[in-house]
């Protein structure tokens, strides 16, 4: 099946070439980072996690979103999602690979990464994060590939795949919960020390991931000769709408607790985000863009007339993805460090090499995604989905 | 028309026949080709072992340091044979025991005690790292990262 | 025998995975073991020992503009000076009273309190959050309470820096060696990519001397001792004087007590 990714239209080849170019640029700067150290980034003594970990946090959510397709189809027989569960699983694979790459480029001594397995520390959430992410990668790689291969060969999938798929549902919830626990258990960081951290992560995951999936389905429908079906896309759009609503609501309730209680330590973080604090306002513009985009996207997605228009739907999904990337990717991680435990404000400015490495990892992820979806489209072949559909259905019943 | 068709057909036949004969030749010489491939592989894989023979002399380690000259009893922590084979593992064991367990004293086979310290014990006598440690390390291509942190006394001017 | 490209890829992938298997999966009998003679494992005879090491900082004696403790610590431990606050590494430094004890002073506090600049360092907590979060065990707690750093094992993930409620830890974002003014040959430097912090001078305690900052303080404002020994000087001070700890409500059990 892999050879299907080697042939394609000119547009496809140009896209792949661009991704490889960006990936190589990122790799080049990563070599420079290995040589000089992480000082080549904008991270400092006070803001010790930056763009890399922010991307990791956001992408864990995107990876978890595969469950939004798997759960309705395999547990509740929602047939409309039958054609695209594989899309979700392959997206999860690409997203988890990006997560692993982002953690790797963030390490000060990456050659020692195996120390996490050689000297396991069960009290450390990062240890468990490595376990669940690796497991999730394996599960989705296996299920996505097996279902796709069976679709190609027009045979029903093997019986053992069913429990693996069922396992992926709680596992998807777990990867994001564990990642949220990295933040939510730190007593010294009042911005993160909230029980609602894991639910917030899940809500934004279930909005951003399916939004990306909708965009992919629209692209495949326009240029990839694959139609996921209007019912599936609309169902996904409704999921995005409500998950987005919950996400915005969660930010809102956080702000209520913080500003009604008037505890200065807690208020400072939100003041820094939305109003600026003591003259520092790096993130204020970003956060207001998040607020406007997310509310606009919710309105667009909740109005059926707008949602059913392909162009407006695409715009709304882009707005969802970008606004949640701002909120989780920038707003969450950086703000945990501002103000510092001693009350100092050190702002964070990512450097050129850091941004290039980040883009390089994104390019690697999108490269994987493109290759996967090219194979998927070939296997599904044509616009009406595969003959394996009934075979998979039979397996469930 | 007929002539052209005949030319095209016959040239196609000739090409096919050439192809088949070549394949048959390959098949006949199948074992020869396999042995040739194996021989090339064996030569390539053992290249590092035989290429340098006679060209590079094995390293000569210098024990000529003022500290060693001043020792009454010129003995290392353990004997040379043991150290040559095991100093890496011994240093790793020292590292974990001294740092993680707080056990800083090493008792050698013959009962003498030393502090478990690369700079504090080993490099005090072997103060000529370039003519001692580096000689073997360069020869075998080992690049221990110990010296990134652990200070070589000669390199630091007091 | 014809093997498809798929089978070849599967075998190649499986082989690559097995080559990544770490040595821990090798059975014990297959690993070569070096026999180290018995008898080591002794501490140096003159080492100082305690149930729980702690420090008091007498704020009535500490003068705001004096930095003797900082100079001594950073010199002895080869702490680099990068010349910019972004990459800064500090094991001990001075902050304003309001920063160290948020909420312990008010708008009407006298000048004396406002002018104080207490030194801050790693609190070597009883219940350290940094040890809890470290994924490799590179930071760990000794039985005598000191929170240690194993620079050999640290992967530089900086979760400990996020977890520390006191901002006591610094990351080596660059190679520190070029920026050390005068290298002390009796203590290693660190390499780039690892996190470091005050270690209560455990290497000096092992040789029977007190921490460098304690000895360097010309006002004798720092007292170091065993908090579990009821007859230690530090216990006497804590019994007779009012003391503050930093952010006690977080439950970390910090072992630096500031006497007022």
ipTM score of the complex? 0.90
| CB spacing of B119 vs C183 below 8 angstroms | no
**B107 vs C140: CB contact, 8 Å cut-off?**
no
Do A48 and C166 lie within an 8 Å CB cutoff?
A: no
Q: Check if the beta carbon of residue B126 is closer than 8 Å to that of residue B80.
A: no
pLDDT of A243 over the 80 cut: yes
Interatomic CA distance for residues B70 and C117, integer angstroms: 51
| pLDDT of B11 | 78
- For the cut 50, the answer to whether the pLDDT of residue C233 exceeds it is yes
Q: Tell me: pLDDT of A134 over 90.
A: yes
H or E segment at B105?
A: strand B105-107
CA dist C58 and C245 (Å) reads: 12
CB contact under 8 A, A188 and C87: no
Residue C54 bridge partners (DSSP): C225
Picking from C137, C185, C203 by the largest number of B CB atoms within 10 A of its own CB, the best residue to mutate is: C185
Q: Which residue has the higher pLDDT, C32 or A285?
A: A285
Number of Cβ within 10 Å of residue C113's Cβ equals 15
Chain B CB contacts of C187 under 8 Å are: 151
Q: Rounded to an integer, what distance in angstroms lies between the CA atom of residue A149 and that of residue A144?
A: 9
* DSSP 3-state of C225: strand
Measured CA distances, C188 to A189, C152, C177, C180, C184 (Å) = 32, 12, 10, 12, 8
**Burial bucket for residue C130 (CB in 10 Å: 0-12, 13-18, 19+):** buried
Examine the pLDDT at B25 and tell me if it is beyond 80.
no
Residue C25: is its pLDDT beyond 60? Answer: no
Nearest CA in chain B to C202: B102
Domain boundaries, chain B: 1-55, 66-157
Residue C67 pLDDT greater than 50, yes or no: yes
Contacts of B150 in chain C (CB under 8 A): 188
pLDDT tens digit sequence for A47-93:
999 999 999 999 999 998 889 999 999 999 999 998 899 999 999 99
Are C222 and C20 in contact by the 8 Å Cβ rule? The answer is no
End-to-end CA distance of chain B: 98
Q: What pLDDT, in 10s, does the model give residues A263-287?
A: 999 999 999 999 999 989 999 999 9
CA atoms within 13 A on the CB side of A126: 31
Beta-strand ranges (E) seen in chain C are 53-58, 92-94, 119-121, 139-141, 147-149, 170-171, 195-196, 222-226, 243-244, 256-259
Q: Specify the pTM.
A: 0.88
DSSP3 helix / strand / coil % (chain A, rounded to 5): 75, 0, 25
Return the percentage of chain C with pLDDT > 70, whole number: 89
Q: Which of A109, A123, A337 sits opposite C132 (nearest CB)?
A: A123
Chain C residues closer than 8 Å to A347 by CB: none
Nearest Cα residue to A192 out of A258, A243, A132: A258
Task: Indicate the residue of C43, C150, C189 with minimum beta-carbon distance to B151.
Answer: C189
- Nearest by CB to C183, which of B86, B101, B156? B156
Q: Which residue has the higher pLDDT, A333 or A381?
A: A333
What is the enclosing helix (H) or strand (E) of A102? Answer: helix A85-106
Nearest to C185 among B104, B119, B149 (CB): B119
pLDDT (tens digit per residue) in A90-107? 999 999 999 999 999 999
Question: CA quadruple C220, C226, C232, C238: dihedral positive or negative?
Answer: positive
Q: How many CB pairs under 8 A join B and C?
A: 68
Q: What is the pLDDT of residue A153?
A: 87
> In whole angstroms, what is the distance from residue A228 CA to residue C84 CA?
55
Query: How does DSSP assign A305-350, residue by residue?
Result: HHHTSHHHHHHHHHHHHHHHIIIIIIIIHHHTTSS-TTS-------
Cβ separation A124–C134 shorter than 8 A: yes
Residue pair C254/C247 in contact by the 8 Å Cβ criterion: yes
- Assign C228 a pLDDT band (cuts: 50, 70, 90): very high
Measuring CA to CA, which residue among C250, C200, C246, C249 is closest to residue C226?
A: C200
* Torsion over CA: B103, B107, B112, B115 (sign): negative
What value does the mean pLDDT take over residues C235-250? 95
The overall longest dimension of chain B from CA atoms, in Å, is 106
Rounded to an integer, the average pLDDT of C211-230 is 96
pLDDT over 50 (residue A385): no
Longest dimension (CA), chain A: 65
Q: Which of C8, C134, C136, C191 is the best mutation test for A, with the most CBs of A within 10 A?
A: C136
Mean pLDDT (chain C, rounded): 89
Contacts of C86 in chain A (CB under 8 A): 39, 42, 44-45, 346
| Dihedral angle sign, alpha carbons of residues A130, A212, A292, A244 | negative
DSSP C195: E
Nearest C-alpha in C relative to A125:
C133
Three-state SS for A104? helix
Q: Taking 80 as the threshold, does the pLDDT of residue C115 lie above it?
A: yes
Residue A63 tokens read as 């990876």
How far apart (Å, rounded) are the C-alpha atoms in residues C174 and A43?
12
Residues in chain C whose beta carbon is closer than 8 A to a beta carbon of chain B? 34, 36-44, 47, 140, 142, 148, 150-152, 183, 185-191, 202, 206
> Tokens in use for C83?
């010349």
Q: Tell me the β-bridge partners of C171.
A: C195
Closest residue, chain A, to C163 (C-alpha): A186
Contact A298, A335 (CB under 8 A): no
Task: Please report how many Cα atoms fall inside a 13 Å half-sphere around the Cα of residue C55, on the Cβ side.
Answer: 26
State whether C40 and B105 contact (CB < 8 Å): yes
Question: Which of C86, C90, C117 to substitute to test the interface with A, most A CBs within 10 Å?
Answer: C86
Where exactly are the structural domains of chain C?
Answer: 53-259
A28: number of CA atoms within 13 Å, CB side?
8
Nearest residue on chain A to C155, alpha-carbon basis: A109
* Model pLDDT for residues A147-173, shown as the tens digit of each residue: 988 988 889 999 999 999 999 999 999
Rounded CA gap, A43 and A334, in Å?
10
Chains that touch A (3 or more CB pairs under 8 A): C
B positions 58-87 inside 8 Å of C (CB): 86
Quote the CA–CA distance of B125 and A19 in Å, as a whole number: 56
Give CA–CA dist B95/B25, Å, rounded.
63
Strand C243-244 to C256-259 pairing: antiparallel
C189 has a pLDDT exceeding 80: yes
Question: Is a pLDDT exceeding 60 seen at residue C42?
Answer: no
Closest to C22 (Cβ–Cβ): which among A110, A114, A337?
A114
Cα three-residue angle B52-B55-B59, rounded to 5 degrees: 90
Q: Which CATH number fits domain C53-259: 3.90.180.10, 3.30.70.260, 3.30.2130.10, 3.30.70.20?
A: 3.30.70.20
Q: Please give, rounded to a whole number of angstroms, the shortest distance from the CA of C83 to a CA of chain B.
A: 21
Using CB atoms within 10 A of its CB, is residue A181 exposed (0-12), middle (13-18) or buried (19+)? middle
Task: Check: CB of residue C221 under 8 Å from CB of residue C62.
Answer: yes
Buried b (16+ CB within 10 A) or exposed e, A107-141: bbbbebbebbeebbbeebbbbbbbbbbebbbebbb
Those chains having 3 or more beta-carbon pairs within 8 angstroms of chain B are: C
Q: Is C136 within 8 Å of A116 when comparing Cβ atoms? A: yes
Residue B106: enclosing H or E segment and its boundaries?
strand B105-107
- What is the per-residue pLDDT for B18? 79
Whether residue C155 and residue A110 make contact (CB cut-off 8 A), yes or no, is yes
The pLDDT assigned to C27 comes to: 52
- How far C58 CA sits from the closest chain B CA (Å)? 30
CB within 8 Å: A108 and C158: yes
Burial degree of A99 (CB within 10 A; 0-12, 13-18, 19+): buried
The domain at A18-396 falls in which architecture? Up-down Bundle (1.20)
Place A388 in a pLDDT band, splitting at 50, 70 and 90: very low
The stretch B57-82 carries a mean pLDDT of 88
Alpha helices in A185-332 (DSSP H): 197-223, 230-261, 264-274, 284-302, 304-307, 310-324
Q: Do B103 and C43 touch (CB under 8 A)?
A: yes
CA distances from A345 to A46, A210, A272, A339, C229 (A): 8, 36, 9, 5, 40
Task: Name which residue leads in pLDDT, A289 or A377.
Answer: A289
């Amino acid at each position: 099946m892999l050879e299907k990714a080697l042939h394609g239209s000119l547009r496809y080849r140009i896209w792949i070439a661009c991704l490889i170019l960006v990936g190589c640029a990122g790799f080049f700067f990563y070599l420079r980072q290995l040589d000089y150290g992480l000082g080549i980034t904008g991270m400092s003594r006070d803001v010790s996690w930056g763009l890399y970990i922010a991307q990791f946090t956001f992408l864990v959510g995107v990876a978890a979103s595969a469950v939004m397709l798997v759960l309705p189809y395999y547990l509740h027989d929602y047939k409309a999602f039958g054609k695209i569960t594989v899309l979700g699983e392959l997206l999860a694979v690409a997203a988890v690979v990006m997560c692993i790459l982002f953690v790797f480029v963030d390490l000060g001594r990456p050659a020692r990464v195996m120390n996490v397995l050689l000297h396991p520390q069960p009290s450390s959430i990062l240890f468990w994060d490595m376990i669940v992410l690796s497991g999730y990668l394996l599960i989705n790689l296996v299920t996505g590939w097996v279902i796709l291969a069976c679709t190609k060969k027009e045979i029903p999938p093997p019986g053992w795949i069913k429990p693996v798929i069922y396992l992926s549902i709680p596992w998807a919830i777990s990867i994001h919960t564990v990642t949220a626990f990295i933040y939510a258990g730190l007593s010294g960081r009042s911005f993160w020390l909230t029980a609602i951290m894991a639910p917030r992560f899940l809500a934004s995951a279930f909005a951003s991931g399916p939004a990306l999936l909708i965009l992919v389905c629209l692209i495949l429908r326009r240029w990839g000769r694959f139609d996921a079906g209007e019912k599936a896309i609309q169902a996904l759009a409704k999921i995005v709408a409500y998950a987005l609503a919950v996400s915005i609501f969660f930010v809102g309730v956080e702000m209520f607790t913080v500003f009604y209680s008037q505890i200065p330590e807690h208020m400072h973080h939100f003041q820094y985000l939305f109003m600026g604090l003591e003259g520092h306002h790096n993130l204020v513009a970003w956060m207001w863009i998040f607020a406007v985009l997310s509310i606009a996207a919710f309105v667009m997605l909740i109005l059926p007339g707008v949602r059913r228009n392909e162009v407006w739907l695409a715009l709304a999904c882009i707005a969802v993805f970008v606004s949640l990337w701002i909120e989780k990717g920038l707003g969450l991680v950086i703000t945990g460090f501002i103000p510092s435990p001693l009350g100092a404000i050190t702002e964070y400015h990512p450097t050129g090499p850091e941004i290039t490495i980040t883009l390089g990892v994104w390019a690697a992820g999108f490269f994987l995604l493109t290759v996967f979806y090219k194979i998927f489209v070939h296997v599904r072949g044509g616009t009406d989905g595969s003959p394996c559909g009934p075979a998979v259905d039979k397996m469930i019943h | 028309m007929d002539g052209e068709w005949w030319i095209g057909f016959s040239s196609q036949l000739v090409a096919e026949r050439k192809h088949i004969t070549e394949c048959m030749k390959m098949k006949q010489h199948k074992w020869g080709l396999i042995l040739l491939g194996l021989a090339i592989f064996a030569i390539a894989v053992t290249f590092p072992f035989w290429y340098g023979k006679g060209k590079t002399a094995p390293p000569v380690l210098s024990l000529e340091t003022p500290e060693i000259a001043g020792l009454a009893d010129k003995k290392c922590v353990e004997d040379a044979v043991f150290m040559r084979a095991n100093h890496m593992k011994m240093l790793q064991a020292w590292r974990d025991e001294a740092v993680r367990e707080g056990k800083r004293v090493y008792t050698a086979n013959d009962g003498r005690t030393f502090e478990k310290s690369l700079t504090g014990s080993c490099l005090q006598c072997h103060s000529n790292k370039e003519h001692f440690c580096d000689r073997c390390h360069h020869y075998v291509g080992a690049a221990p990262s110990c010296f990134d942190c652990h200070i070589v006394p000669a390199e630091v001017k007091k | 025998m014809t093997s498809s490209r798929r089978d070849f890829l599967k075998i190649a992938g499986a082989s690559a995975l097995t080559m990544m298997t770490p040595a821990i999966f090798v059975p014990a009998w297959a690993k070569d073991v070096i026999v180290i003679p018995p008898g080591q494992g002794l501490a140096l005879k003159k080492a100082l020992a305690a149930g729980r090491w702690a420090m008091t900082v007498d704020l009535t004696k500490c003068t705001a503009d004096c930095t003797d403790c900082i100079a001594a610590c950073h010199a002895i431990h080869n702490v680099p000076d990068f010349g910019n606050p972004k990459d800064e590494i500090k094991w001990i430094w001075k902050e304003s009273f309001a920063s160290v004890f948020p909420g312990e002073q008010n708008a009407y506090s006298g000048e004396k309190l406002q002018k104080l600049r207490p030194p801050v360092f790693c609190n070597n907590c009883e219940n350290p959050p940094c040890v809890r979060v470290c994924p490799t065990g590179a930071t760990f707690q000794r039985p005598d309470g000191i929170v240690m750093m194993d620079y050999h094992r640290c992967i530089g993930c900086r979760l400990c820096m996020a977890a520390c409620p006191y901002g006591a830890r610094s990351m080596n974002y660059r190679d520190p060696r070029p920026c050390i003014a005068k290298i002390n040959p009796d203590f290693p430097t660190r390499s780039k990519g690892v996190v470091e912090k005050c270690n209560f001078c455990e290497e000096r305690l092992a040789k029977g001397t007190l921490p460098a900052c304690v000895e360097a303080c010309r006002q004798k404002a720092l007292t170091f001792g065993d908090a579990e020994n009821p007859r230690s000087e530090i216990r006497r001070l804590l019994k007779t004087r009012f003391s503050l700890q930093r952010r006690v409500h977080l439950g970390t059990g910090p072992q630096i007590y500031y006497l007022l």
